[in-house]
Amino acid sequence: MARRGLRALPLLLLLVVAGVSAGCGEDEGAAEDAVVTVYVSAPLRGDEAGAGRRLCDEAREQAAQGSGREEMEVRVVCLDASGPGGDWTLAKVGGNARRATEDSTTVAYVGEPDRRARRQSQPILEAAGIATTGGLSGREAIAEVSAALRESDSNDPRQAVYDAVEG
């Protein structure tokens, strides 16, 4: 009985290797009707709330125009970067950046209007390969992301946006 089991071992190994190989192949990239996400982090309370809301509203309006790729929708998620006092805080900015990195659909992050705040989020996003924009209006940021998606023949939307924005 033990000898028969040894003779069957090569066949079993061949079947396992064939099964594993069947799962490997070219990356198929974004699925049809894919949704990609752009996170916008801005203070939505306090003295800078008006500018933060404007940034988010512009981003949403531009995203509603379409991504430039029929099979891909751009979704905008606005995150509040303000703390209890209404001003942005390093903890909120860092938390927003980390949240964007945890979403597999994230292709870009529109950083806070304040340059010091962007310095907090930038390393977190860069380590995850997420493109960051800052100092742009929400409309310009989403237009930049849409152009990168439209002009790329890549099936990896995150990489296409990263290459276009950061490259």
Q: What would the pLDDT profile of 46-57 be if each residue is shown by its tens digit?
A: 988 998 999 999
Mean pLDDT of 143-157: 87
In a domain, 129, yes or no: yes
In a domain, 22, yes or no: no
Mean pLDDT of 136-159: 88
Q: Considering its fold, how many domains does the chain have in total?
A: 1
In a domain, 130, yes or no: yes
In a domain, 23, yes or no: no
Chain position carrying tokens 């340059």: 115
* Band (10; pLDDT cuts 50, 70, 90): very low
Residue-number span of the structural domain to which 153 is assigned: 38-166
**CATH number of the domain encompassing residue 51:** 3.40.50.2300
Query: How far apart are alpha carbons 144 and 149 in whole angstroms?
Result: 9
pLDDT above 70 (res 2): no
Q: Report yes or no: 150 and 67 within 8 Å, Cβ to Cβ.
A: yes
Query: How far apart are alpha carbons 32 and 44 in whole angstroms?
Result: 34
Query: How far apart are alpha carbons 27 and 40 in whole angstroms?
Result: 28
Chain position carrying tokens 């079947």: 15
In a domain, 5, yes or no: no
In a domain, 105, yes or no: yes
Q: Which residues lie below 8 Å from residue 53, measured CB to CB, with a gap of 6+?
A: 42, 44
In a domain, 109, yes or no: yes
In a domain, 139, yes or no: yes
